[in-house]
Chains A and B, each alone.
Chain A
Amino acid sequence: MHTSVLTEAVDKAHKAGRHALIPFLPAGFPDPERFWEVLRELDAQGADIIEIGVPFSDPVADGPLIEAVSLQCLADGVDLDWILDGLERMAGQLATPIVCMGYYNPFWQYGMARFAERAAQAGVAGCIVPDLPLEEAGPFQEVLNAQGMDLIRMIGVNTSEERMRAYAKNGSGFVYMVAALGITGTQAGFPPQLPQALSRAQDIFDDPIALGFGLERKEQLGEIRDLVDAVVFGSSLIRHVQGGGEVRTFLQRWH
């Protein structure tokens, strides 16, 4: 098992007594030019890991906001080549580890091994693929791991202990706990089973636990704050940027 830069990034924040911050930025948002500026700002303003969204025409786990943004990015010509070319140009300039978050088909059509090779060269540390559950993750995980990259495991409040244990066997990076039974950006509060699911995950996984879906500010975490090592936020950041807000002021909500 390799030493994951993603695990290290979360641990570093944890040691500093705070949650690791993982913003999600759709590739090409708010527009293809300004995307790279926002990426630099996130890097400079204290993000610990940055998730870059790979747009897909049919994103099953995303809510209306991220879906609409993704479709706009596709219309603007954003694809994996565009993302990897840009990251290659920026190689060495970003201190924050990058993960690519996207649905399986674009990676598969690109060629999993080809993607992994180029992504590793461009400094990508891992991938999050919502439509690759335990049963289907093997082939992509293998090619990513061969390049020293992680396939982040996503679990939910309805994931059984048995399945968590199976996920724990061969994972790396961090574990992404989906904070609700739902889609991105649509939750109003956490489900009652969440604390129990997080406790179970903390017991079962050696890797840090990140919480995502519906997160906007630190105060939301309340009683579960100590059960979480990192926070992922997407829709709320998109809304903030769309409203003309600065990345800095958004990240401050988490300090």
Chain B
Amino acid sequence: MNTKTEFPDAGYYDGFGGQFVPELLMPPLIELEEAMQSVLPSQAFQEELAEVLQDYVGRPTPLYRCRNLSKRLGFDLWLKREDLAHTGAHKINNTIGQALLAKHMGKRCLLAETGAGQHGVATATAAAMLGMECIVYMGAKDVQRQAHNVHRMRLLGAKVEAVDSGTQTLKDAISATLRHWIRDQATAHYCIGSVVGPHPFPALVRDLQSVIGTETIAQCQKKMGGLPDVVLACVGGGSNAMGMFHPFTDYPEVRLIGVEAAGSGEEGCTHSATLSQGTEGVLQGARTYLLQTQAGQILPSHSVAPGLDYPGVGPEHVAFMTSGRAEYVCVCDDVALEAFYTLSRDEGIIPALESSHALAYAMALQGEIPSGSRVVVTLSGRGDKDLGIVREREGAAETKA
């Protein structure tokens, strides 16, 4: 792979992005940008990263054609199996890259925020592998909901800090991590988990995740003899989607669809459909789309998939939406759960609830797209982590019945 970085103008993507942070954070952001320009493209770094991605992460991940579902749907449904990467999700592509970069920058501690716990686990993994300290901030509510992942992080040697402020969820964990980074910027690197936050993070995370799309293009050429017709990925902050979409920028004939979480889908419900239903604003370092009140206060978000539960979105996705390069739609909790069951039973793959949103929309394309079309979905992670949520909902449904 070749992780190249092309910075947008002053950190902006068609007017979205930027660096809306306290001045105290500008020096470490400038230091990071300089490292991205000097260290990241160097041959030595690229070779080291490629080796770790292959031997430790397990790349390339397979591109798998769903035999049974494809027959039923009337089009070819392919899955980019990020669930088979080490730690069970795409998150590791980013954390390994950032951890290596941080090490080259002389940092000895990785800071991370996490909602569902997947990014926390991936950061703790990278830190353990590279012999670095790791501190993970997690909303107090998420610490309770994701006890299994908290245990994994601790096993990996990370310190998990529960955040009691605000809504006690991901957005509060991000604020807490930024505050810690202000304090310990000389020795710590903030390993942000998605294509969000101040410049240069959206570009850095996108470039590290672009391995997903780059591999997919090569695998499609080999297995299908050409490019796919439609590519779908779920969007919370949007890192797996941007990692898949960005390498397709040069292929306008490929339809890109980002799928957000609509929550219960009822009128006025709490959801995470930032692009579909949010408005422009500034949060945690970037001008982007947000779920907010008219007065500019950030609204709580919700999804059955904890990894999609964020009231903002990566600024480059906004640029993709406004330019029309990608479409953004949303799928509600129950429909995503249906897809979760379908893929489990029909293909023997238990998907993450996040990915189930993208799968659900892909399946709904039946009848809309010509038969024989080639559709690729990023399976961003595996569903083991979500079994508690699924069991709880099954229990609630049984009680109701």
Contacts and interface: CB of A to CB of B under 8 A. Distances in A.
Interface string B164-176: 0110000110010
A105 B282 contact: yes
A78 to B, nearest CB: 10
Contacts of A132: 20
Contacts of B296: 56, 105-110
Interface in B17-32: 18-24, 26-27
A163 interface: yes
A132 B24 CA distance: 11
Interface in A112-166: 130-136, 154-156, 158-160, 163
Contacts of A108: 281-282, 296
B264 interface: no
B393 interface: no
Interface string B248-290: 0000000000000000000000000000000001111100001
Given A67-B166, A105-B281, A134 B292 contact: no
A58 B283 contact: yes
B282 A57 contact: no
B182 A67 contact: no
A136 B298 contact: no
A154 B26 CA distance: 12
Given A58-B171, A79-B295, A67 B165 contact: yes
Interface string A81-111: 0000000000000000000000111111110
A61 B181 CA distance: 11
B148 interface: no
A180 B295 CA distance: 31
Interface residues of A, number: 40
A135 B296 CA distance: 21
Contacts of A67: 165-166
B10 interface: yes
Contact of A159 (B21, B23, B183, B281): B23
A106 B19 contact: no
Nearest to A153: B23
B186 to A, nearest CB: 8
B104 interface: no
A245 interface: no
Interface in B296-340: 296-298
A212 B17 CA distance: 29
Nearest to B24: A156
B182 A154 contact: no
Given A159-B27, A182-B183, A58 B284 contact: yes
Max count, chain B CB within 10 A of own CB: residue among A135, A155, A178? A135
Interface in A218-255: none
B292 A105 contact: yes
B232 interface: no
Contact of B298 (A58, A68, A107, A178): A58
Contacts of B297: 56-57, 74, 106
Interface residues on B, range: 20 to 34
B299 to A, nearest CB: 8
Nearest to A129: B20
A64 B166 CA distance: 10
B121 interface: no
B183 A135 contact: no
B182 A181 contact: yes
Nearest to A62: B179
B295 A106 contact: yes
B182 A182 contact: yes
Given A108-B281, A182-B183, A58 B175 contact: yes
A216 to B, nearest CB: 20
Contacts of A59: 175
A156 B23 contact: yes
A104 B282 contact: yes
A211 to B, nearest CB: 14
A207 to B, nearest CB: 16
B235 interface: no
B33 to A, nearest CB: 12
A158 B22 CA distance: 12
A183 B182 contact: yes
B43 interface: no
A57 B22 CA distance: 16
A107 B285 CA distance: 15
Contact of A61 (B22, B290, B298): B22
Interface string B25-60: 011000000000000000000000000000000000
A158 B175 CA distance: 20
Contacts of A155: 23
Max count, chain B CB within 10 A of own CB: residue among A80, A130, A154, A181? A181
Contacts of A106: 295-297
A133 B182 contact: no
Contacts of A130: 22
Contacts of B23: 133-134, 154-156, 159, 163, 178
A71 interface: yes
Contact of B284 (A60, A133, A156, A183): A60
Contact of A133 (B19, B166, B283, B295): B19
A135 B294 contact: no
B295 A110 contact: yes
A63 B175 CA distance: 10
Contacts of A131: 20-22, 282, 285
Given A60-B175, A80-B295, A104-B20, 4 more contacts: A57-B166, A134-B26, A135-B19, A160-B27
Which 4 A-B residue pairings sit nearest by Cβ, starting from the closest? A109-B296, A106-B296, A105-B296, A156-B24
11 contacts: A56-B297, A57-B298, A109-B292, A133-B26, A135-B19, A135-B26, A154-B22, A156-B22, A158-B24, A158-B185, A163-B23
